Structure 1
Amino acid sequence: MTNHDARLSRRTLLAGAAAIGLAGCSNDGRGGQTGAGGDTAGVRPAYQPYTGVKPDLPGAEYNIPNAFTRYPANPVQAITTPPGDGKPIDVLTYTNTPIPPKLEQNRFWQELNSRVGSPVTVNLTPSVDYAQKFATVVAGDRLSDIFLVGAVPQVPQMLEAKAVDLTSHLSGDNIKKYPYLANLPETAWNVCIFSGKIFGVPIPRGAISSNVLYTRADILQKQGLQGEVKNVDDFFELCKALTDKPRNRFALAASPTQFVRNMFDVPNNWSENGKTLVSSNEHEAQEEVFEVLRKLWSSGYIHPDAFSGQNQDLKVRFGNGSSALVQDTFSAWPSYLQTAVDKEARIGIVGPPKHDGSGPGKIWLGAPAIGFAAISKKSEARVETLLAYMNFLAAPFGTQEYLFRKYGLPGLHHNVVDGNPVLTKKGFSEVQLGLMYTADAPWTVFLPEKAGDAEAEYNAMKALCPTALADPVAGMYSETNVRKGPQLNTDMTQVTNDIIQGRKPVSAWGDAVKKWKSGGGDKIAEEFAQALQSSR
């Protein structure tokens, strides 16, 4: 399974896609949130969890995904009637993988159309370009039947004008007509509820999109190193031991900015102070964080190309062993497996300690949803067909539909290895139709590529996620954040990078925060605080 939304979508956010709903996922950990402006309680769909398959490792108790060590041998057929009506279903969304072969050369796409009962046309755009693409499509009044909501000013007004109000179809028990949409987590719906109306279907993530520090556990073991650090000095010693400049080895593939902030209890984007919000930019420990990061850089423990090149380079460095530590989301685990040059490579997770050794630190909890897809008003006459198609795409793990959607056809797109589906090169190429950015099932931890990895990731999440710090306004909407947030975040990222690399003093952070506040940050805080209060 290949799921790259965590890494590349961060760049989408910085390019201006605040309205796609990525909370706290910019490179410096301060991305913008979008979504509901409150008033969600009365209209939120009734939650009806899918119980058709029993997880090997249940996650509900820990607020993490269920984990599976094996795909069910006889997966159930979740949907007996094709959702389509025979007419084309046109979709606008993005992808974080190479554009797949066209329909004529794509056996998976052909089979998808057959199973859906309608020809599906997908207008795919690389995630880094989606904000511009979406703005152009909205301006030209050329929205597809189903569209992933991207970054444009006045998102609520755009939805009122362009999207179907789905409240009567999805609120409360109405959603039970679409049982796999009812299986989506309750909090994920906040991102697509505006002024008491449901305008879309969320793309759920949650704990799986939390950032952590990955290790090449096999490399640490060969060097006799423990994959655990108890304070900031331990972290320096680990980085020193993993760095060998003459052999072009550097401990860290990129700056571990969020990991170090976790050591110093910096909040996840915002913290509440009565009825007001305080930005994590203003946290008292930020300058201490920068002192640590500057020392990691000046000591040569961070890869010299960390601030240039492409995000995929991080996976290459980690995969070939030239960097044994990298910060990314739990959802990125499969892609790190696939880029490992040494097939004996093993992945581990290092939890952040408090910087002074007084106990474990706390990671930042991923947002409940990374965005949502809406239905065009021009397609309102087919709304039930389009919701049925989205319900098909949300069929959960353990079903025939999920197996096909993620792995395609046996013997062509995947091979069965020890009872589990493993994508072939053809499968990897053809199945990447952006379906997971149209609608998706709740994430599950399933890593068939390597025995033991599902248990390893589950145990890491079980240890770190129950105490993770949530962003109090994840999924909420601020107009100023949509308009000014991307540029403000870009400016703060640049200052962050300049300080870490020694081009500016640590004291430059305070000046940058003042500029951020006066340039829109205080207004963003005010609007998010209002949204938070109205949601209660």
Structure 2
Amino acid sequence: MTPNSATSAPSRRSFLASTAVAAAAVAGGMPLLAACGGSDSGSKEGTTSGKGAQKILPAFVAQNVVTPDIASKNGSALGFTSELSLADLKTSVPRKLGKGSTIKIMSPFWGSPPKSSNPYYSAMNAKIGANIVWQNQDGNTYDEKLGAVLASSDMPDVVVIPSWNMGGKIPSAIISKMADLGPYLSGDKIKDYPNLAAIPSDAWQYSIFGGKLRGLPQPAPTVPGIVPFYRKDVFDDKGYELPTTADAFLALAKEITDAKAKVWACDDMKWTAFGIFGVLSGSEKPLGWNLVDGKLIYRVETDEYLEALEWTRKLYAAGVVHPDAKAKNQGNAGQRFTDGQVLMYNQNISDWWGKMAEQATQNKDFRIAGMDIFGHDGGDPQLWCGSPAGIFAFINKKASKAVIHDVLAAANVTAAPYGTKEYMLTNYGVEGTHYTVKDGMPVKTDQGNLEVLNAYVMLASPAPTIAHPDFPDIAKEQVEWQQRMGAFTKKSSFFGLQVTEPARYTNLSNDFEDLEDDVVRGRKKISDMQQAVSDWKSQGGDKLRDWYKKLLDDSGSAQG
């Protein structure tokens, strides 16, 4: 799996991973990162309350170095639609904060890591004032390496952990082995690192593990990240009207589909169905719980969940879904979309720019657009917030104060906002060596493509940002879609809280996703899902509900 994978249907893991590279994507550069995770107030399970968090959280100081073209609204990213001018880049780190420490960082890496002595690493280390040594590990098999490293006595100074790698004993290891950053960042102390101070408070709240501020976060938009995309060029040509109800979607899908011509209406639309029918978030287990009339309800118990599966099942049964999607992991949904074999598919918002950039030289008529999520009956949708951060960098609690200071100095550089010299260095490298700017657009050189990959961007990142100098209209459309959808997006009871479930419940709901996929494809029945939910309750779901309810009663929500 790569972070930007787009299989036939986004799995929970590919959903998280693709969300992780979507918060900000700049033409030709490594996107900023975003996504999700588990925690407590001292023991190895539980969480930290909103009230408890207030004593821990860093002060928020908005960054005024750069003004976005589109302000954040309803949980959206910031938007930049202006041409990029190197002469106008601002400085957000006026002096070197590092004191010369050598810092070993283990991080997932997708691709081939460059040599450690390359000009990009040298320039970044010079800017930071520290010697960062990257111990890059294959992101596809990071799980395997992570557990062994956290269990060893020879752990590096910093370990980067994406939320989708936080299963099993990883949260407990974070709590027991990672440094408390509160003494360095809580309250006004964070003002020593202005770019970190501009990270939204929700992201810091979500970086509290075991009652302590332990993570350096990569913030994410809290609005839904999966977009129902459609081929706007074809829709305009054929005169297709966008549906505003579930029934209208099915009717349109039947009109579009022509199997003889190898055109199907859509790919797997399960994740869109969850939005249409208002199903609680499936991106993180705690987000799937919500207090309704005094009782905690889990997403799989709801009528909305079954209705979403039944509707998706109808799409498959009607023959409007591409046959390769029914095979689940056969081929690539995005490729079928650009080939014109399907006219609608759902994937992370990063595909909005990704597909336009990919097709710019292949099909000049190609136009992708995002459909607004509608309520199944034509009313307003009920959408649910995702997590406010996802990939975290943790500092070994055995690290010296000097090393901790220099890690924070490094994070203060990598969290610089778009439109600054530090952002360009972090995301594009050295001008002339790693990129050039043509017509207001940064373009990586061959050397840039080899060296400026997912290293420093894994340390910390600024508030979620979308900027595409090559396609400013796409950046505008993405942010405006987020803002429209954000108006209908609510926070469920455990939004913004790192929750570590008791180990005995860790795998309790793991099989639901595979069963969902079998149900919508007609291989299993809705009654099989109902039986699975009944089994889940008796095998620990009801006890887990009691555990979550006590947690909520004792701790309160992140908003309280």
TM-score, normalization by structure 1? 0.86
Aligned-pair CA distance for 1:425: 5.4
Aligned-pair CA distance for 1:509: 1.0
Matching residue of 1:369:
389
Matching residue of 2:253:
239
Greater shift in the superposed pair: 136-145 or 203-212: 203-212
- Answering whether residue 493 of structure 2 is matched by residue 472 of structure 1, we say yes
Greater shift in the superposed pair: 417-426 or 460-469: 417-426
- Assess, with a 3 A threshold, how the Cα gap between structure 1 residues 187 and 5 changes in structure 2: closer, same or farther: farther
**Aligned counterpart for 1:174 among listed residues 189, 203, 227:** 189
1:100 and 1:220 mapped to 2: Cα distance?
A: 42
Work out whether residues 15 and 348 of structure 2, in 8 Å CA contact, stay in contact via their aligned partners in 1: no
Residue type matched to 2:467 in 1? F
2:182 and 2:534 mapped to 1: Cα distance?
A: 41
Matching residue of 1:507:
527
Q: Once the two structures are superposed, what CA deviation does each residue of 1:118-167 show, in whole Å capped at 9, x if it has no partner?
A: 33222333444222221111122332211123425455642343111111
**Aligned counterpart for 2:99 among listed residues 85, 90, 97:** 85
Matching residue of 1:495:
515
Matching residue of 2:144:
132
Matches within 5 A, 1:8-407: 13=13, 33-35=37-39, 37-38=47-48, 39-60=52-73, 62-70=74-82, 73=85, 74-95=88-109, 97-104=110-117, 106-149=118-161, 150-151=165-166, 153=168, 157-207=172-222, 210-226=225-241, 228-253=242-267, 255-268=268-281, 269-274=288-293, 276-306=295-325, 313-340=332-359, 341-357=362-378, 359-381=379-401, 382-407=403-428
| Secondary structure in 2 matching 1:123 | strand
1:331 and 1:297 mapped to 2: Cα distance?
A: 26
- Assess, with a 3 A threshold, how the Cα gap between structure 1 residues 370 and 156 changes in structure 2: closer, same or farther: closer
Residue type matched to 1:93 in 2? S
Q: Once the two structures are superposed, what CA deviation does each residue of 1:17-47 show, in whole Å capped at 9, x if it has no partner?
A: 9xx9x9xxxxxxxx99424612212211111
Work out whether residues 208 and 498 of structure 2, in 8 Å CA contact, stay in contact via their aligned partners in 1: no
State, as a whole percentage, how many aligned pairs show the same letter.
27
Work out whether residues 244 and 375 of structure 2, in 8 Å CA contact, stay in contact via their aligned partners in 1: yes
Work out whether residues 71 and 421 of structure 1, in 8 Å CA contact, stay in contact via their aligned partners in 2: no
Work out whether residues 259 and 363 of structure 1, in 8 Å CA contact, stay in contact via their aligned partners in 2: no
List runs of 5+ in structure 2 lacking aligned partners: 23-34, 41-46, 282-287
Greater shift in the superposed pair: 80-89 or 501-510: 80-89
| Secondary structure in 1 matching 2:490 | coil
Greater shift in the superposed pair: 40-49 or 74-83: 74-83
1:417 and 1:488 mapped to 2: Cα distance?
A: 53
- Assess, with a 3 A threshold, how the Cα gap between structure 1 residues 483 and 135 changes in structure 2: closer, same or farther: farther
- Assess, with a 3 A threshold, how the Cα gap between structure 1 residues 79 and 188 changes in structure 2: closer, same or farther: same
Aligned-pair CA distance for 1:203: 1.5
1:483 and 1:333 mapped to 2: Cα distance?
A: 40
| Secondary structure in 2 matching 1:305 | helix
2:516 and 2:449 mapped to 1: Cα distance?
A: 36
Q: Once the two structures are superposed, what CA deviation does each residue of 1:221-243 show, in whole Å capped at 9, x if it has no partner?
A: 222223x2111122113323443
1:399 and 1:113 mapped to 2: Cα distance?
A: 17
Report the count of equivalent residues.
Answer: 516
| Secondary structure in 2 matching 1:404 | helix
1:120 and 1:4 mapped to 2: Cα distance?
A: 24
Greater shift in the superposed pair: 365-374 or 45-54: 365-374
Q: Once the two structures are superposed, what CA deviation does each residue of 1:313-342 show, in whole Å capped at 9, x if it has no partner?
A: 233223333322222233443333344342
1:65 and 1:261 mapped to 2: Cα distance?
A: 22
| Secondary structure in 2 matching 1:124 | strand
TM-score, normalization by structure 2? 0.83
1:386 and 1:55 mapped to 2: Cα distance?
A: 28
Q: Once the two structures are superposed, what CA deviation does each residue of 1:377-417 show, in whole Å capped at 9, x if it has no partner?
A: 23233211111111111111111111121222334433323
Work out whether residues 195 and 412 of structure 2, in 8 Å CA contact, stay in contact via their aligned partners in 1: yes
Aligned-pair CA distance for 1:440: 0.8
1:501 and 1:331 mapped to 2: Cα distance?
A: 27
Matching residue of 2:44:
none
| Secondary structure in 2 matching 1:324 | strand
Work out whether residues 147 and 438 of structure 1, in 8 Å CA contact, stay in contact via their aligned partners in 2: no
Matches within 5 A, 1:452-471: 452-471=473-492
- Assess, with a 3 A threshold, how the Cα gap between structure 1 residues 6 and 272 changes in structure 2: closer, same or farther: farther
- Assess, with a 3 A threshold, how the Cα gap between structure 1 residues 66 and 477 changes in structure 2: closer, same or farther: closer
| Secondary structure in 2 matching 1:378 | coil
Residue type matched to 1:202 in 2? P
| Secondary structure in 2 matching 1:480 | coil
Matching residue of 1:441:
462
Aligned-pair CA distance for 1:259: 1.4
| Secondary structure in 1 matching 2:501 | helix
| Secondary structure in 2 matching 1:201 | strand
Greater shift in the superposed pair: 365-374 or 494-503: 365-374
Residue type matched to 1:515 in 2? D
Residue type matched to 2:156 in 1? S
Aligned-pair CA distance for 1:48: 0.6
- Answering whether residue 440 of structure 2 is matched by residue 419 of structure 1, we say yes
- Assess, with a 3 A threshold, how the Cα gap between structure 1 residues 383 and 405 changes in structure 2: closer, same or farther: same
Matching residue of 1:26:
none
- Assess, with a 3 A threshold, how the Cα gap between structure 1 residues 275 and 131 changes in structure 2: closer, same or farther: farther
Greater shift in the superposed pair: 438-447 or 312-321: 312-321
CA RMSD after TM alignment: 3.2
2:375 and 2:322 mapped to 1: Cα distance?
A: 24
